Amino acid sequence: GLSTIQEVEAGVQHILADIFAKDKDTLDFIRKLCQQRYICIQSALAKVSSKSGNEKDIDKFQLYHEFSCHIKNIQHHQILAINRGENLKILTVKVNIPDGVKNEFCWWCVNERWRPQQFLKPELMRILRNSVEDAYKRLIYPLLCREFRSKLTSDAEKESVMMFGRNLRQLLLTSPVRGRTLMGVDPGYKHGCKLAIISPTSRILHTDVVYLHSGQGFREAEKIKRLLLQYNCSTVVIGNGTACRETEAYFADLIMKKYFAPLDVVYCIVSEAGASIYSVSPEASKEMPDLDPNLRSAVSIARRVQDPLAELVKIEPKHIGVGMYQHDVSQTLLKATLDSVVEECVSFVGVDINICSEILLRHIAGLNANRAKNIIEWREKNGPFINREQLKEVKGLGPKSFQQCAGFIRFNQEYIKTFCRTCPFLISDSSKKTELGSHALLTKAGVQGKKKSKITPCASRQPNPLDQTCIHPESYNIATRFLSFIGGNANDIGKSDMQQKVNAVIQKEGLEATAKRLNTTVHTLQLIIDGLTQPEGFDIRTDFDKPDFKRSIVCFEDLSVGTVLTGKVENATPFGVFVDIGVGKAGLIPVRNITEAKLSKVKKRRSLGLGPGERVEVKVLNVDIPRLRITLDLIRVL
């Protein structure tokens, strides 16, 4: 029990304070009061870190050593920076609520909200006042601080995740570089630069290691020249990791001296974020089982230029490196957002079912890891898919899944025609009798039983030219009727004749009248027209930004205020855009310098603001050599 009056008073005070702190009207009043007052968040250098911390880490948070800002005005990136500094024990953070708020709150509680109905003795009024002050100091003030910090962090995390999603979408939709043999270079010092030469179809032609930065540069140049000439490769892709700058200078010097003549060699720098993580992943081991993990990263670097989407989906999105504090935000929210962006991009571009990887298939709408695996197994067992209808034969792929995924799956008609010419039994009649006849013919021709069983499931299939388009199977009937209406042939899809026939009919009849005649919507008809008129192998990314190929190099020391340069956007954040201008360090265009007037209105844009991959013309505003910082002004988007 309680032995003294003071103990009883303290107990009563705690009970009252607890009641006050849980009362809805009381909390609503203090929150409303805070909205009307100047509440600021402050950060300062922690005393412990200033004595024992890493100087480099402490300097990173120099802006926040004596920082104060109104909670309504603070930027999202500032909140995330302060939170990181606090977690690293470099900064101390507090929410500063003015004393005036406390005084007004205590007066309101004693004189209005919790005022006794009858007169109380001074001793009891003293207990009431003490209880209110105790409730504010011990319970309500910490609650308000937690609420403010939680709200600011939550908003900042959402903005960070949205920004990462926008950047990732632009990066994944970078235009692929088709039809080139590429040399991927993963730079390094002690362990050498890893090389990988890949064919235009992404096949690995050769891998090697060269030591460019250990006094053997001239001898290794002979080897590189021999490889480039042997495989007729004139494009070098250099990863932007350790020793990138020195490797770039090495290649730029040889190119300037025309060392690789008669080849006109160009190079580009590409982000290697996530390449090392991918190179030791189970997916990489399955895809390149006989290749050393160090060499796999060079293959990944080259393929990122050849087909960014197909390669980058293999890497966990948060490791791609176009985000802002992505490792500090809610990983559940980040994963859900980024997965949906990847699925959207893969579905937007479409995939060739007969050559795409299992990882790429997983991201198609309607498919998952199991269904993707089953599709690959079916393909390995029965040979290539001939048409979309065959997808229904895959285990676990029901009508709903087929309906969702069919429109995003493409078929290379040239490849299928070649396959069907070599295996004519594949375009036989669909009846069982003909199927058996085909098998008898195969047996007579001396084909092994194993091969016979391999092609049994697709023995009655015929290629459909509409499968190479973005038209969904549900609209094939309308597409066929439209072809009859314009007098076209399905085998002319993507040719100039088809374009002329479609234009002639639409100009004569009009889009709405034609849609009404075919008993469909204008939107569906427009999709059908796009599918029929787009050239074979059409890739919507062709109009988007391509990698920036170079032949020479600019040094950081060469920069001066007023210099006009072209560069490529590396990353976008709420406070500005980082641009690679080819000096080994990205420059920053502050957000105040990016106005709507400077953004191109003619060019097809993938988002409202600037994003990774876009080429820009910039002017140097400031060069801070000690801190290696470059401030830029945006002139225009190229």
Q: 157-210: per-residue pLDDT in tens?
A: 888 888 888 888 888 888 888 788 999 999 988 888 999 999 887 889 999 999
- Phi/psi for 17 (5° steps) reads -60, -40
In this prediction, residue 237 carries a pLDDT of: 92
Please say whether the beta carbons of 350 and 307 come within 8 A: no
- The pLDDT score that the predictor gives to residue 106 is 87
pTM score, whole prediction = 0.71
Tell me the CB-side half-sphere exposure of residue 637, using CA atoms within 13 A.
Answer: 24
CA distances 359 to 71, 355, 496, Å, are: 43, 12, 36
Three-class secondary structure of residue 356 per DSSP: coil
* Nearest CA-CA partner of 246 in 193, 321, 301: 193
Torsion angle of alpha carbons 607, 613, 616, 620, nearest 10°?
120
End-to-end CA distance of the chain: 81
pLDDT the model gives residue 460: 44
pLDDT score, position 458: 41
pLDDT given at position 53 = 58
pLDDT of residue 162: 87
* Per-residue confidence (pLDDT) for residue 609, from 0 to 100: 67
pLDDT in the model for residue 433: 34
Count how many residues are written for the chain. Answer: 638
Give the C-alpha separation, 593 to 589, whole Å: 6
3-state secondary structure of 470: coil
Instruction: Find out whether 83 and 153 touch, Cβ atoms under 8 Å.
Output: yes
Q: What is the mean pLDDT of each run of 10 residues along the chain (638 residues)?
A: 77 87 89 89 81 70 88 90 89 90 88 76 82 89 92 90 86 83 90 90 89 81 91 90 84 88 88 85 86 89 88 81 79 84 83 83 87 89 85 88 87 71 53 35 37 39 79 87 86 84 86 87 88 78 68 70 82 86 83 79 55 83 84 85
The pLDDT score that the predictor gives to residue 602 is 54
- pLDDT at residue 194 in the model: 92
Name the DSSP letter for residue 416: H
Per-residue pLDDT at 164: 87
Q: Which domains does the chain have, with CATH numbers?
A: 5-169 (1.10.3500.10), 182-324 (3.30.420.140), 351-465 (1.10.150.280), 471-533 (no CATH), 556-637 (2.40.50.140)
Distance CA 63, CA 473 (A): 58
Q: pLDDT at position 326, please?
A: 78
Among 556, 549, 548, 581, CA closest to 567: 581
pLDDT of residue 88: 87
DSSP-H helix ranges across 62-216? 76-87, 99-108, 122-134, 141-172
Give pLDDT tens digits for 361-419.
888 888 888 999 999 888 888 888 888 888 888 888 888 988 888 888 887 766 677 76
Q: Is 212 helix (H, G, I), strand (E, B) or coil?
A: coil
pLDDT value, residue 451: 38
